[in-house]
Amino acid sequence: MTTDLTRLSAAQMAEQLASGAITSVELTQAHLDRIAAVDGAVHAYLHVDAEGRSPPPARSTSCVRAASSCTRWPGCRSRSRTS
């Protein structure tokens, strides 16, 4: 069974991203595909910038991994802040 990434909760998406089970590029593309499939009927978006969706995959994956070990910004969960 394939999981529909667009049906995951925000917490589940974050877990999947942090564990490396999915990439931000895959998650973004799943949402863009869903928008393309249903927006003709629901007209929820005025504009979707699919071309400007994300940085290259290697960069986005490294950014997610770097953020998961962040101790500098409020909201970082992996370690307590030292400054």
Per-residue model confidence as pLDDT tens digits over 32-68? 999 999 998 999 988 888 887 655 555 555 555 565 5
Long-range (24+ apart) CB contacts under 8 A made by 7-14 are none
Give CA–CA dist 73/83, Å, rounded.
9
pTM for this prediction: 0.61
pLDDT at 67: 58
Residues ≥6 apart with Cβ < 8 Å to 82:
71
Segments making up each domain of the chain, as ranges: 16-68
81 has pLDDT over 50: no
Residues ≥6 apart with Cβ < 8 Å to 13:
5, 22, 27
Question: Band of the pLDDT at 25, cuts 50, 70, 90?
Answer: confident
